[in-house]
Structure 1
Amino acid sequence: MSTLALTARDSATMLRRNLRHLRRYPGMMIMSLGMPVLLLLLFVGVFGGAMQAGVGSGQYIDYVVSGILLMTVGYGASMTALSVNRDMTEGIISRFRTMAIARVSVLTGHVLGAVLRTVVSAALVVLVALLFGFRPAAGAGGWFAAFGVVVLLALALTWLAVAVGLLAKNAEGANLFILVVQVLPFVSSAFVPPDSMSGAVRWFARHEPFTPVIDTLRGALLGTPVGDSGWIAVAWCAGFAVAGYVWARALFRRDPAA
């Protein structure tokens, strides 16, 4: 059997392991599925009326769904950081290092599991949004583009989350990643246009990594022009994915006694 086939087999085994863990830690699945829906209901049902003035024409739910989808990816990646850190601190990672398996498969199993959870969670968010009045204008190409952006962002943030989980000494350290992915979307185009913000906050919101991703998602779903946001979003996601992958591989290979 070739090296690639062995790696694929071991990765599939690690994916099954991570999916089975959902039965042991149902709170993780509830968190990654339920929190984005709760945020959607909160911003549409509670803040929607006040936020509507900031977005101009159109329904606020049409504007905010893309930001909620980004936060859905962030929550899924955050759960992965905690899961990897638990494996690291409980010694499972050390055992895997000694086994005759493809080392990258341990990390790939976490990443693939997180991407699958994220896709399910994102689909649930869209379904609930449709029930509450979300009316996308996307054709088949738009839906395909939105799906691609979600998957690419999930890969990028999850590889970073895996690296953070390996690096952190405990769950509190891994929570730093959760803080970042929870705060940055609020200072972006997720909930209100950056032009409605002031001074330095406006500049930051226009140039931070999440804004072009959200704008690309919004354009794909609503059928509006994406402009430069598309290639900028892909560049940010690709850069994060490569950086996270290289960082995670280096951390996984390091001497645990060092």
Structure 2
Amino acid sequence: MAKSLSTEQQQRLQKRWEALDAESEQRCEKLKRLRIDWAIEAGTAVKFQLEKQIQDEEAKLNDIDRQLNDIEAQLQLLSHTKIIPHSISQRKVHQTCEVLGNTEAIEVFLYHSQQDEKLRKNLEKSLHNMEIQGNIKIWDKSKIRAGKNINIEIHKKLNSADIIILLISPNFMVDYHQSEVKEAIERCYAEGTNVIPILLIPVASWQSLRFGNSQFSNLQYLPKNGKFITDSRFWKNQNEAFVLIAEEFAEAVKQIAAETD
């Protein structure tokens, strides 16, 4: 009798797992479409609504992922074995994370001064195609949700980042050297994380400024010609600079991805 009950429980759990898995796939596709719509939308009001929908879908996917993990644990207990049923063993590992950003995507942590926010947005626009294609996933502190601990979120993203972008400007230099994040970034660099300075606004003698035991000039900065984006002596307009940076950054990402394969 107990064995029969166990079999019935397994069948119910199996059906529940399959229904949740199917729902997860549907929401994956919906989230992908929302992210594409968000990337190409110009209107602030519509963009805000899309962002809210994206956050809602992310929350639902996280909840589904939790339920799937719970069901797998129950099935293991009922079957008295560590072997997961065949249909469940085919499940993609970390499926939710794969939806929110391709698991093959390079994680990019972007650090900037709040006073350079407009330039930060312009940079991210120039890199949007890479995000849509799933090559990179950019994170900066503007993406921290209300109620989250800012320091914890920053350090968590820093530790998982493949690339750290530093937006160099006089504002950055003041903020960076007064920030607790400075030590964390330099520690990540010492442990092998790629750090790429992007030259926004001219800073006197920036090449000799210290970065841990090194100098900023020793890092792989962009643009490679060493010309600051806002220096009108070298660019027809800022868009020309951002296009070049996007091209050079894409090449850097390609090299880094090859090294990590």
- Does TM, normalized by the shorter one, top 0.5? no
Larger radius of gyration: 2
Higher strand share: 2
Q: Which has the higher contact order (CA 8 A, sep 6+)?
A: 1
Higher helix share: 1
TM-score by structure 1 length? 0.31
TM-score by structure 2 length? 0.30
